[in-house]
Amino acid sequence: MAKQHQTDMLIVGAGPAGYTAAIYAARAGMNPLLVTGMQPGGQLTITDEIENFPGFAKPVQGPWLMEQMREQAEHVGTTLLYDLITEASLKQGPDAEGYFHLTGDSGDQFRARTVVIATGAQAKWLGLESEKAYQGAGVSACATCDGFFYRGKEVAVIGGGNTAVEEALYLTHHASVVHLIHRRDSLRAERILQKRLHANPKIKLHWNKEVHEICGSGSPAVVTKLRLADTKQPGVIEELPVDGVFIAIGHSPSIGPFRHEVACDEEGYIITKAGTASTSIPGVFAAGDIQDKTYRQAITAAGTGCMAALEAERYIAELGLNDEKPR
């Protein structure tokens, strides 16, 4: 049977941003509810080793780190609900009693004084079976996260836009050779980025090529080479030995039912006011990768989650709503 939930803060999304917002909100006595969505823990649940999250001298596993965040959020008073928000009425503002209304896939109804959207973004993948097989074992979608593991090795970057060029340039600080593989004969990246790319002797360009298969060996198996198909000559396949593959064909914001409820850019990322987590709707905040297409790091997501919770607390106080306890 469907239930009705009422809270000072509803957090949608269970990644670093959502959990951090929940921790701060719970400590502020806001009795937050966190709706986990389809992938509790977000992208870090498919991240093998994390070396760049402060506080850990040795690499930690992504799923373990997210489990620790979940436990901390629950320990300080957050209620987790394993559901998916499918409808949201935000654009018209809160009702006469000061509540926004949302609906879960379960049929549950949510009334919230404030809403934090922390649904994240998903990397776009090539869709190959071999790509799935080697995720976390040589296949990555984040050079900043995983480039460190390829010091002195050869890697490949797949793509031709700004993301691919930026990833390739970053990887030259670690890898001995960076192969940029693009299915066309020209890049879509900004000219200044292309200029830097062509000037870097560590980068080798492979035009008119697309990944046919990612191959590996060993126990456990890791990436050892790529099989590349020539887009101009059907049937022609060449092999390229590499130790790692970075897929850089973009990200898709997980905007879901919020697409037409708050202001978004043309790609679907939520627009927040500069230096804040505030959206176009007072009382609605956005944190993490759903509003950040520049950094996309766990630590920056956590930081914006903190901002969202503090701003939500201030919003409730300014409206004089903090004297009323949720029923």
Question: What are the residue numbers of the active site?
Answer: 142, 145-146
Helices (H) and strands (E) in the chain, counts: 7, 19
The CA–CA distances, whole Å, from 5 to 96, 109, 308 equal 17, 6, 21
Is residue 234 packed enough to be buried (19+ CB in 10 Å), middle (13-18) or exposed (0-12)?
exposed
Is the CB of residue 44 less than 8 Å from the CB of residue 301? no
Return the CA Rg of the chain: 22
Nearest one of 253, 317, 238, 315 to 284, comparing CA atoms: 315
Tokens of 281: 């709707």
The encoded tokens of residue 47 equal 């991240």
DSSP assignment of 60-77 equals: EEHHHHHHHHHHHHHHTT
